[in-house]
Each structure stands twice: as structure tokens, then as C-alpha cells.
Amino acid sequence: MKKIRYYDRNQEMLMAVEKRTKTFEEYALGYTISLAIDEAKRCILCKDADKRCMRGCPINVDIPSFISKIAEGNILEAYKIITNTDIFPSICGRVCPQERQCEGACILHFDTVRGKRNKGLPVNIGALEKFVGDFVRISGIEPNIEIEHKKGYKVAIVGSGPASLGCAYELARKGVDVEVFEALPKLGGVMFYGIPNARLDKSILEYEINKLKKMGVKFHTGIVIGRSISLKELKEKYDAVFIGVGAGRGNLGIKGDSFINVYSAIEFLMNIALGCPMAKIKKVAIIGGGFTAVDCAISAIRFGMETHVVYRRTRETSSARDEEWDHIQEEGAIIHWLTQPKEIIGDENGYVKALRCAKMTLGEPDESGRPRPVEVPNSEVIINCDAVVLAIGQKPNPIAFEELNLKTTRWGTLEVDQNYMCSLDGIFASGDVVNGGDTVVRALKEGKEAGRCMYDYLVDKKRR
């Protein structure tokens, strides 16, 4: 009988701290083939994986099947299995919070059927997925993607983030002519502008987008839907339109947010992604506890800034990955848990000079189910800094769809039906612009689902 290897999880090699804090190169170096095969052999290939890791995966990758192929050394077959559902294994392997998804439901770690904690460490599914994607990309193997004959339908896609790319993939595969309209100079949405190169090398994104180009998808940059062309014009020119503009609009709303060197997270990250000059910053306070806050911290550290992360809750209740908190702490970030920012303090010339905060304690659960942070009286903390970055929530940018008065929720997200159709016939949406902001993999999944619904709509429309 095969011995279950509960504990000897193979970790990815990381670049040394002193080296990685000086470069935007990726610091998680990935598996060698022997490590990947060894890690794959830890998987016990559960027969009821659909109730475990596969259910934990938002896009339901057939995890045991692809891992068994790695164990056999058949990486190309593993790639085919993953890409049946997840078209971007190299990306999802890097950016998914696996400990709360597939790995959180790995039987070695947690028995989801019995609902109880198990004694071991989960199979490193994320690193294996990344390995498979990277292996195929680096080998120069051209995966064969079957594309159906042209059907004569034309679809316009607004935005080029994960939902849009997922939608484009599904439609292009079905023989639909797809054109993607992106306002900004680079394609990929949050994957380009929101995730620093140190976590997701831009060349990987470029590779994945090139795959779509080879499938016939046309991309246009510099076109601001709602300004350069109206959504109404698009609707008239194309058989259907998909809105995948994400929910990237930054958020402010703290006293003193108009001082010089107060940035929304997206402004801070976009400056870096585009390589635009920034004001000289020595000490930065980043407000927030999610992925975006961690990504801002990763970037700030690499610019040599003394980096403070200020979060009103605890590490356990934050939405960022556990290992990423470890990484930025190793790199020198100073993390202020249970600390609520109250006011940005400026100097006489209008520049930021400090952040005034209060310490918090955890109280009763709030509507999100997490313990509500409660302010500790007389617990003021002053963090000296010359810049503040607000990574505290996001909302959809309405300029693409405001002219058509599409129905929105009170949070400004688009209302869609069960087929991802908006309140106007022929206009579809999914991803963050609908769900308000979640993971790349969820946007990818919903984009693909919307693509399938759009195809059915096009066929049905033709019949009518």
C-alpha cells in the first residue's frame, strides 16, 4: 500500500531576500521537473476529488487527472487536462489564493467530506499548475486549440482583463469573430496593471494573449468605450457586446486624502507598471489588507521605500495569501495589524508627513462573518511617512456603460440575468464589473461562462 506523505510538501525555491528586494524579477522560482514529479506523487488521487480539491477550484480543474499525468512525466497531457477548463495555468498557478481554494480542500490537509482538519500539508497544486504552464511555454510547444469553422457572428468585447479574455477564448473557439477594445496601452487589465512583475512576469501574460491572437482574436488599444466610441455604436456594429471592464476604480475617503503623495492603489501600481516617473518617496504607509495592499507593498519595497502596511483587522481575517504576508515581512515590510487609519496629516506645503491611526481589538462578528474591529480608547498611533497608498476597496468604472443606463446595483456593479445578460438585449457582462471584485480565476471562469451564453444567444437570435 502506498504510504501517504502528509508532511514533506515541496516548496518552490524563492530568490534570496537581499536579492529579490532589489529587483522586479519574479521571486518564486518554480519547480524543477524532478521536484514537480515528486510533489505530484504526494497526491493520493482521491476518487471523490469533485467533492474536494476540484470543488475548491473556482474553475473546477480536473486536479487528480493532471497531477497523475505529471507523476507519469507526461506534462503535455497534464497541460491539455488543465486547459480544458483553465486557459491560463501559468497565471492562475501564480496568483490564485490556493490555500483557500484547491489546496484548502486537499484531503491531506482538510477532509471536506467529513468537515474536519487533517494532519498534513496539502499537495502544492498551485506550484504544479504553474510548472505545467511554464513547461509548455518555455519549451516552445504550440498547444493545438481546436477552432470551429467561422459562423459569421461578430462580437465586441470591452476591456481586456481576465473575464474578457476568458470570454474571447470561448467565442473564438466557437468560430465567432471577436474584437477586444482596451482603453489603456497594455492588454491584460488587472493582470498587467494590478499585479507587480515580481509576482507575475509580464511576458507570461503576453504569451497568453498571443495565444488568443493566434486564434484570430483582434485587439485594439487606446479606444475608450464611452468616449472614443459609444457603447450604442458598438451594439449597432456587432451582433453582441461583452462588458468586462473590471472594478478597478480606486477608492479614497479618509481625512487628508487630498495631500500631495496620497495615491489610490491603482495609481501607485499603474505608475510602476507603465514605468512612469513618481515623486521621491522614502516612507510609505499602505492602507488595506487584501491582495492589492500586498502588491503595493511588494512594489514599494523594491523601490527602496520603508514600507508600512496598515490594516484594521488581523492576518487571519485578511483576504491576501498567507505566504505573501510572510514574503513581505521577510523583505522588511512593517505590518500594523488591528490598526485603523484615522487621518492623513500634511505639512505646511501640503505634503504628507504622517498617518494618524487608532489601535483596534476584535469584537462580535459583523455581516461578513468576520469579527468586527472595535477601537481601543486612547490608543492613538502616529506612523511617520511621506506617502500614503489607499488599497481599500474598489468599484466599477461606469464610463463604458453609463450612456445606456444599464441597470446597476447599489454598489455600482452591473445587474445581469442567469445568462450574464445585462438589462439591454445583446449586452453581456461578467467578472469584477458584476461581482464587485474577486480573484482572477473567478473572473476567468465567469468570462468563459458568459462567452458560452453569448454563443447560445447568437445562435438563437439567428434562428429567430
Residue 33 interacting with another protein (CB under 8 A): no
Nearer to another protein, 214 or 280 (CB): 280
Q: Which residues of 151-170 are buried (b: 16+ CB within 10 A; e: fewer)?
A: bebebbbbbbbbbbbbbbbb
Q: Which of 38, 77, 99, 267 binds another protein (CB under 8 A)?
A: 267
Q: What share of the chain is helix, strand, coil (3-state, %, to 5)?
A: 35, 20, 45
Nearer to another protein, 143 or 185 (CB): 185
* Interatomic CA distance for residues 191 and 201, integer angstroms: 10
CB under 8 Å to 261, separation ≥6 — which residues? 279, 281, 351, 352, 386, 387, 388
Based on the shown chain and the rule CB under 8 A, indicate whether residue 305 belongs to the binding site for another protein. Answer: no
Least separation in angstroms between CB 365 and another protein = 32
**Residue 144 beta carbon to another protein: minimum distance, rounded to whole angstroms:** 32
Question: Which among 12-20, 108-116, 270-278, 361-369 is the span making contact with another protein, rule CB under 8 A?
Answer: 270-278
Indicate the residue among 138 and 279 with the shorter CB distance to another protein: 279
Q: Give 113 or 260: the residue with its C-beta nearer to another protein.
A: 260
Q: Does 183 bind another protein (CB under 8 A)?
A: yes
Please give the Cα distance from 304 to 292 (Å, whole number).
Answer: 19
3-class secondary structure, 81? helix
The verdict on 439 binding another protein (CB under 8 A) reads: no
Which lies closer to another protein via its Cβ, residue 134 or residue 201? 201
Taking the least distance from each CB to another protein, the nearer of 237 and 462 is 237
Interacting residue with another protein among 74, 271, 319, 435 (CB under 8 A): 271
- Under 8 Å between Cβ of 283 and 384: yes
**Cβ-based neighbour number of residue 276 at 10 Å:** 9
Tell me if 264 contacts another protein by CB under 8 A: yes
Nearest approach, Cβ of residue 382 and another protein (Å): 22
Map residue 23 onto helix, strand or coil: coil
Whether the Cβ atoms of residue 188 and residue 209 lie closer than 8 Å to each other: yes
Q: How far apart are CA 93 and CA 321, in angstroms?
A: 13
Residues 350-409 that bind another protein (CB under 8 A): 350-351, 397-399
CA distance 286 to 284: 6
Contact 339, 311 (CB under 8 A): yes
Contacts with another protein by CB under 8 A: the residue count is 37
Instruction: Examine residue 414 and tell whether it contacts another protein (CB under 8 A).
Output: no
260 lines the binding site for another protein (CB under 8 A): yes
Question: Where do contacts with another protein occur on this chain (CB under 8 A)?
Answer: 183-185, 221-224, 227-229, 248-250, 252, 258-261, 263-264, 266-267, 270-271, 274-280, 349-351, 397-399
